[in-house]
Structures are given as structure tokens and as C-alpha cells.
Amino acid sequence: MTQTSENVTWLTQEAYNQLKAELEHLSGPARTEIAAKIAAAREEGDLRENGGYHAAKEEQGKQELRVRQLTQLLETARVGEAPADDGVVEPGMVVTIAFDGDEDDTVTFLLASREYASADIETYSPQSPLGTGVNGKKIGEDAEYELPNGKLASVKILAAKPYQA
């Protein structure tokens, strides 16, 4: 569960540990593996037409980008507790909304950074238009957010509970 305020990203201890473990793997064993792949492909000869070499170099580039992203994120991270179960929408909450007040047309999602996205539940960033619109609202309140076409959409907050992994 994360919350970005200015240049600080708030993480639960669990999320911080998970991202730190990923960084340690990418910086250690994964770096060694990709270097070995590149060396093996290099020994095959002409690098201009060596698909394995180019694929390994591309994989290395993606891996190094992820290392930089994780390093930056963890440098600015602040570890905190999960949000209070007080019915106020904030990052780290599972939120259920109804579109245009129609309680049959609902969506439930986790309001959190993409770093904490899960296959179990759809995740919206607190910086997304919908995330910005619902953040700070209470159960029962209406919220507006801007659609890509510039029009405003209205939703009603039906539920907001802290996310349980």
C-alpha cells in the first residue's frame, strides 16, 4: 500500500520488504545471470547478426532500468502502518464506488501505487483522475473526476476498507 505525497512514497513494511527483495535479486544473482548470457552469446561470433546477444543486451537494459526505479523508490520511501479503518478513502484502501449514483453499476479497486498492484484486485493510482477524485472522501459522499474527453464523471463512495494482502 503506497501513498505518494511530494517526492515521498509511503509503503507498508510488507511492500517495502517485497520491493527490497526484488532489488537485491536484480542487483545480485540476476545481474550475474545476464552477464553470463551476454558472454556466452558474444563467444558465438559476429555480434551484428547474433540474435541471442541482442536479446540478452535488451534484457540487461530492462533489468538495469528496474534496478534504478526500485533504488529511487526505496530511497524516498517511508514505511508506515496500513490506513485506519475509518471509512475515509486514502491510499491503501479497497474502495467500492457506484457510477452516477447507480448502485447496480459498481467497481471495487485498490487505491495504491502500481508498485503494489496485485492480480487479485484492480489497482488505481492515487494520482489517476479517479484516484484524485475519491481520495479523502468518506463513505456515502459523492466524488467527481475528469474523463479523458474532458467531461466530469460522478461516483458515490459505497465502501472503503484497508487492504488485506
What domains can be seen in the chain, in order of their start residue? 2-80 (1.10.287.180), 93-162 (3.10.50.30)
Residues in the chain: 165
For the ranges 11-15, 65-69, 140-144, which has the lowest average pLDDT?
11-15
What Å distances lie between residue 16 and 65, 83, 114, 115, CA to CA? 19, 16, 13, 10
DSSP H helices in 77-141: 129-134
Contacts of 31 (CB under 8 A, 6+ apart): 63
Backbone angles phi, psi at 33, to 5 degrees: -60, -45
Residue 16: which of 66, 85, 76, 67 has the closest Cα?
76
Mean pLDDT to the nearest integer, 36-55: 85
- What is the percent of the chain with per-residue pLDDT over 70, rounded to a whole number? 87
More confident residue, 119 or 21: 21
Task: Name the strand (E) or helix (H) holding 163.
Answer: none
- In the three-class reduction of DSSP (H, G, I as helix; E, B as strand; rest coil), residue 146 is classed as strand
| pLDDT at residue 79 greater than cutoff 90 | no
Structure pTM?
0.60
Banded model confidence at residue 101, pLDDT cuts 50, 70, 90: low
29 confidence band (pLDDT: 50, 70, 90): very high
* Average pLDDT of the residues in 28-54: 88
Q: From the DSSP assignment, how many helices (H) and strands (E) are in the chain?
A: 4, 8
